[in-house]
Structure 1
């Protein structure tokens, strides 16, 4: 999830766990702890672009990291606030819950997390929610910030905080049920059309859990389709894209390509634009695929030597008209 959501959720957790003991400082420490797993962003200082993509959401998003950091920081914070009635166990609970909230949210996105690192490098992803979803974030925002407006009693602060967490949690549960429903609808349509593949995945489109992308790859390419829960028809129009592995035949031993293939779990295609080869990770979706089948993919990694790929996951969005893109998205969510 995005940093804003992690920060707000951590702040809400801080208030819920230690608000009555240490006051508004709990909000600060909850927000701080919930962002600790993203310390792996510092990897950009000493890793190549492709290595950083693999390193991100790795060991700092694992159970190992949660246990280690919560133990150490719980002891440090207890020493720092030695005069308070907050015990080491209380601090540990705050840190553990804040860290686990970060891991839980990130595991629900398509990127996934290295939950069992360093013992297993497989990234776990449930494809349930987009990396930024205002329907989830706004209730937490209201629950955290409203009590800061004017003077509110601790009881009212706790009340608003609880309401924000409850509403956002209900939305998350709703998203999980929708995910299961959409998978069944799209997979059934896929089978009825007798399309062949190595698996089938559905993932939400940007900023919502109403419009979904379904995709399925094989050794030669992938099938992609879109479905809104407001669509009148349950027959999905899947279209075919070719993998084009022949374009990177000379790159097969290149460590960059190996890293990208591991990251994508085989969900990729290669495109060529003005003599530049791009590695496109299908899992992150298309910028406007719901409107046109040949919409560019959100993840485009330039395979040219010494190319700057620090924005590989955001390369396209800066070229699109935000208003036009959002209007197209809303219209497609409304259903066909």
Structure 2
């Protein structure tokens, strides 16, 4: 049950645009979770006639909801109330956090060495992971407060995690005409020298009415348009900026009055265009 919501990864096999259109939407909603739990519990009951349907249902539902909770703390976010509402994300943890992996693996190794009961080991792992996530959430809030004090007139501030340390964060400050991107660490005294992304390109009709573009703009928290040429444009979300590459991009190609839109999972080598 806990793995079921990620069945939507099959969508990218069918068509890569479906990844942006539907990933973490209908399979990651608390409104649809009971329906999926009922469906899976029914399958388990058919396979195990002597099993108790209600037990299967609640166990699967707990597994699905725990998956949603973990996906909620990473920057990509989920459509928590799909088909209603906006995207939700806490951005406390990186999608693959080596500390969390260590907290999950270490108790298992300890169990092998000390012959601990599996139930106790699982409980220890759960407590350690939850404690670490709450600690990350605290540092996230402290970083957000710190930058609100530094930039009180900003339109919006985003705090993004890094994979190797809970004390290092990526910070995006949105202003009227530009975004400022910082790499901030709590233990390292540093002068703040932001990378600036100018808002010198706008998304206007009919481009903003295209299905893929419309979905991207609804999902993106810090949308930035990057111009490669007079006929090629990229829609970026600065949450997923990296000095060497951008992740999760929509490419627009204008050709003889027609607009071709394409979703790209990773786009290397263009991160410096229109930025300084």
Give TM class, smaller chain.
0.7 to 0.9
Gaps of 5+ in 1: 1-32, 289-294, 320-336
Aligned 8 A contact 1:220 1:243 in 2: yes
Equivalent residue runs for 1:49-60 within 5 Å: 49=17, 51-60=18-27
Per-residue CA deviation, residues 158-206 of structure 1 (Å, 9 max, x unaligned), is: 2222222222222111111111111112221223xxxx43222211123
Displacement of 1:38: 1.5
Partner of 1:87: 52
Partner-residue secondary structure (3-state), 2:6: helix
Q: Work out the CA distance in 1 between the residues paired with 2:229 and 2:45.
A: 59
TM-score of the superposed pair, with normalisation by structure 1: 0.68
Partner-residue secondary structure (3-state), 2:32: helix
Displacement of 1:133: 0.6
Aligned 8 A contact 2:28 2:68 in 1: yes
Displacement of 1:209: 2.3
More strand by share: 2
Q: Work out the CA distance in 2 between the residues paired with 1:135 and 1:316.
A: 28
Aligned 8 A contact 1:143 1:165 in 2: no
Per-residue CA deviation, residues 39-81 of structure 1 (Å, 9 max, x unaligned), is: 22233355561x5313111111011221111123223323422
Distance 1:55 1:180, change over 3 A: same
Question: For 1:260, which of 201, 216, 220 is the aligned residue?
Answer: 216
Q: Work out the CA distance in 2 between the residues paired with 1:249 and 1:72.
A: 42
Q: Work out the CA distance in 2 between the residues paired with 1:163 and 1:64.
A: 30
Partner of 2:196: 240
Partner-residue secondary structure (3-state), 2:81: coil
Backbone CA RMSD of aligned residues = 3.0
Equivalent residue runs for 1:14-53 within 5 Å: 33-44=1-12, 49=17, 51-53=18-20
- Are 2:246 and 1:301 equivalent residues in the alignment? no
Partner of 1:214: 171
Distance 1:156 1:73, change over 3 A: same
TM-score of the superposed pair, with normalisation by structure 2: 0.81
Aligned length: 264
Q: Work out the CA distance in 1 between the residues paired with 2:260 and 2:109.
A: 45
* Structure 1: 4+ residue segments shifted above 6 A: 247-250
Distance 1:262 1:222, change over 3 A: same
Aligned 8 A contact 2:246 2:267 in 1: no
Partner of 1:188: 149
Q: Work out the CA distance in 1 between the residues paired with 2:108 and 2:39.
A: 27
Aligned 8 A contact 2:74 2:94 in 1: yes
Distance 1:172 1:204, change over 3 A: same
Question: For 1:314, which of 245, 257, 266 is the aligned residue?
Answer: 266
Per-residue CA deviation, residues 237-256 of structure 1 (Å, 9 max, x unaligned), is: 34431123248777344333
Per-residue CA deviation, residues 220-259 of structure 1 (Å, 9 max, x unaligned), is: 33122221121225x6434431123248777344333222
